[in-house]
Amino acid sequence: MTPRQAGSPVIVAERLAAAYGSRLIWQDASFTVDPGEFVAVLGPNGSGKSTLLRLLLGLLAPAAGSLQVLGKRPHQGNADIGYVPQRRSIDRDLPVRGRDFVHLGIDGSRWGVAMGNAATNDQRVDEAIAAVEAAAYADRPIGRLSGGEQQRLLLAQALAGRPRMLLLDEPLASLDLRNQIVIAELVAELARANHLTVLLIAHDINPLLPIVDRVLYVAHGGVAIGKPAEVITTEQLSRLYDAPIEVLHDSHGHMFVVGLEAESAHHDA
Amino acid sequence: MPDLALAAPYFGWDVVRDLQELLHYPFMQHAFEAGTIVALSAGVIGYFVVLRGLSFAAHALSHIGFAGATGAVLLGGAPIVGLLAFTMSAGAVMGALGRRLRGRDVTIGLVMAWSLGLGLLFTYLYHGSAQRAIGILFGQIFGITSQDVAVTFVAGCATVLLVVAVYRPLLFTTLDEEVAEAKGVPVRGLSIAFMVILAVAVSEAVQVVGVLLIFALIVAPAAIAERFTTRPSRGVLLSAILAVLFTWAGLTAAYYIPYPVGFFIIAFAFGAYLLARLASYGIGKRPSGR
């Protein structure tokens, strides 16, 4: 594993803008992410959170500004990035084991059939499965597993490629609260152990509060980054949304953003 | 054994003698040679057809081929040329649509019906015997020439080798298109390539089972294989083996009983599918860790 390179950021965005064709999603985003940082990406539906990941993966070119990922311009097929997209449900009858999904993370993009280093790759698959504690059900058809079990195996797939950065699109969606916390802690643990930088898209900051370093808020055509306590404030969010937003705190330190409902409905429409 | 040819078809427990009997005539040799390679290619590609949810698209491809085949006959050409031209063009279009093809049953069905209608018109305009059309609809493997066998062999080997060449990225895009795309797999190109390979396999299979019974070789073996294994590599192999077995069994049965080969092949395939469903129902659940 590569040691932490303190001081040289793994993501550098300068006046970055994202657009699909002529439709501008957000613009003027300038931020950096340091190696080993755990960043939660928040914002209403349709605000362009997944679009940010697409830019980092090289699947979408910046509409303006510049973006560097791990010292290079983003490009498709970057082996240093592990990616878990937002998951629609997997067909219950899909006749494929979780283990086969994980295996694709190592050599799925190579041409031909597997030859030669099969034993080494099998071992890497085993290691990745063990790392997410999924050995008990990795040989069952993946469609038959629970959402949390599937999420672990998809995480193992991303890890099997031995990345330096993880991009996770709503890995906590459709999980119950207890599993949200378990999976979030698992990601944080794996990131620490492997010195991974993590960008994780989420709807609710609360299960992530104990583990995130910073929050990247995507809303209303713009982006803001900072520590949760700095960004998720009544003033910051009201400015970002250009609308009256209120952030409430409960006795456990949980944060609740109020006044977004109309905004997110507006963006979805 | 020169006297074998004069005797009534022999069938008994002497396997060697049965095989000598079966393969005595050149038309049977050709049928077995072409049938085997066609089945291999159909079984291998069929696994991905079922996994990608493209069974109906494969079915439609063969019907689109019917218009091409009858059109070629009308113009005085070989049916296989028109068959390939139509299925490959349609396959390329379907492949370019990619994921958007799913759930387009109505559109696919209408194109399919339109193609059958065209085929009907071409058959009517061709004032020869309707036997040509029947042969395209239901297959005519016993009429295959040694030249056809050679062409089929080349096309069959090419399709199998191409699937082997794209096996891992094809599996990746089939199971996890978004991650595959991010990992640099040319998703769209593979989708087009796969549908064109499928078009060639379908065109070959039409010779054996015809346009209407294409499911027997492309879908049935793969659907059965998927009930018995959760490992893609084994699924592909099992699907290919089953397709070959159904073809051999169908050819053998049709040699002894004067009913059409296509009927026997789909009969064996359908019977096996029923048994497979019963077996996995008996086991209790669908495939576990096998």
| Complex confidence, ipTM | 0.90
Percentage of chain B exceeding pLDDT 70? 94
Question: CA A59, CA A74: separation in Å to the nearest integer?
Answer: 8
Percentage of chain A exceeding pLDDT 90? 69
- State whether residue B172 sits within 8 Å of chain A by CB: yes
Q: What does the pLDDT look like over B56-66, one tens digit per residue?
A: 999 999 999 99
Contact A56, A69 (CB under 8 A): yes
Q: Is the pLDDT of residue B287 over 60?
A: no
Residues of B in contact with A97 (CB under 8 A): 230-231, 289
Q: What residue has token string 């809303």?
A: A219
Show me where the domains of chain A are located.
Answer: 11-268
Cα distances (angstroms) measured from residue A61 to each of A33, A41, A79, A141, B142: 19, 20, 18, 36, 57
- State whether residue B221 sits within 8 Å of chain A by CB: no
- Report the range of poorest mean pLDDT among A100-114, A249-263, B211-225: A249-263
Q: Is the pLDDT of residue B129 over 80?
A: no
Residues of B in contact with A56 (CB under 8 A): none
Q: What does the pLDDT look like over A127-167, one tens digit per residue?
A: 999 999 999 999 999 999 999 999 999 999 999 999 999 99
Kindly indicate whether the domain formed by A11-268 is annotated with CATH number 3.30.2270.10: no
Torsion from C-alpha of A248, A250, A254, A256, nearest 10 degrees: -30
Of A89, A103, A251, A61, give the one whose Cα is nearest residue B172.
A103
Cα distances (angstroms) measured from residue B209 to each of A163, B136, B264: 49, 9, 10
How much is the pLDDT for B283? 66
How much is the pLDDT for B165? 97
Q: What does the pLDDT look like over B5-53, one tens digit per residue?
A: 445 677 778 888 888 888 889 999 999 999 999 999 999 999 999 999 9
pLDDT confidence bin for B267, thresholds 50/70/90? very high
Burial of B119 (0-12, 13-18, 19+ CB in 10 A): buried
Question: CA B55, CA B270: separation in Å to the nearest integer?
Answer: 15
- Mean residue pLDDT of chain B comes to 91
Q: Is the pLDDT of residue B289 over 70?
A: no
Q: What does the pLDDT look like over A223-234, one tens digit per residue?
A: 999 999 888 888
Of B219, B261, B167, B173, give the one whose Cα is nearest residue B62.
B219
Task: For the domain covering B20-214, report its CATH number.
Answer: 1.10.3470.10
- State whether residue B261 sits within 8 Å of chain A by CB: no
Contact B187, B169 (CB under 8 A): no
Average pLDDT for residues A46-65, to the nearest whole number? 96
Q: Is the pLDDT of residue A2 over 50?
A: no
Q: What amino acid is encoded at A93 in this protein?
A: D
Question: CA A88, CA A11: separation in Å to the nearest integer?
Answer: 28
- Report the range of poorest mean pLDDT among A66-80, A224-238, B58-72: A224-238
pLDDT confidence bin for A196, thresholds 50/70/90? very high
- Report the range of poorest mean pLDDT among A229-238, B67-76, B90-99: A229-238
How much is the pLDDT for B1? 42
Question: CA B163, CA B42: separation in Å to the nearest integer?
Answer: 11
pLDDT confidence bin for B207, thresholds 50/70/90? confident
- State whether residue A30 sits within 8 Å of chain B by CB: no
Which residues, at least 6 apart from A102, have a Cβ–Cβ distance to it below 8 Å? A125, A128, A129, A138, A153, A156, A157, A160
CB neighbours of residue B33 within 10 Å:
18
The minimal CB distance from A59 to the residues B182, B227, B289 is found for: B182
- State whether residue A96 sits within 8 Å of chain B by CB: yes
pLDDT confidence bin for B284, thresholds 50/70/90? low
Contact B196, B89 (CB under 8 A): no
How much is the pLDDT for A44? 86
The minimal CB distance from A109 to the residues B175, B185, B231 is found for: B185
Polymer length of chain B: 290
DSSP structure class, residue B102: T
Residue A257 vs residue B194, higher pLDDT: B194
How much is the pLDDT for B36? 96
Token pair listed for B223: 């659907």
Question: CA A133, CA A152: separation in Å to the nearest integer?
Answer: 8
3-state helix, strand, coil in chain B (%, to 5): 80, 0, 20
How much is the pLDDT for A6? 58
- Mean residue pLDDT of chain A comes to 90
Q: A169-179 b/e with 16+ CB inside 10 Å = b?
A: bbbbebbeeeb
DSSP reduced 3-state for B203: helix
Contact A216, A224 (CB under 8 A): yes
Contact B137, B263 (CB under 8 A): no
How much is the pLDDT for B7? 55
Q: Is the pLDDT of residue A262 over 90?
A: no
How much is the pLDDT for B230? 94
Question: CA A69, CA A75: separation in Å to the nearest integer?
Answer: 9
How much is the pLDDT for A261? 59
Question: CA A204, CA A202: separation in Å to the nearest integer?
Answer: 6
Token pair listed for B12: 């008994």
How much is the pLDDT for B239? 98
- State whether residue B277 sits within 8 Å of chain A by CB: no
How much is the pLDDT for A12? 97
Residues of A in contact with B175 (CB under 8 A): 94, 96, 100-101, 104
Q: Is the pLDDT of residue A264 over 80?
A: no
Question: CA A30, CA A222: separation in Å to the nearest integer?
Answer: 10
How much is the pLDDT for B2? 45
Question: CA A88, CA A154: separation in Å to the nearest integer?
Answer: 13
How much is the pLDDT for A117? 76
Q: What amino acid is encoded at A67 in this protein?
A: L
Contact A121, A114 (CB under 8 A): yes
Question: CA B63, CA B97: separation in Å to the nearest integer?
Answer: 19
pLDDT confidence bin for A259, thresholds 50/70/90? confident
CA distance A85 to chain B (A): 7
Characterize the bridge pairing of strands A23-33 and A81-84.
unpaired
Q: What is the reported pTM?
A: 0.91
Token pair listed for B169: 């990225």
Interface contact A113-B171, CB threshold 8 A: no
Of A217, A216, A168, A206, give the one whose Cα is nearest residue A190.
A168
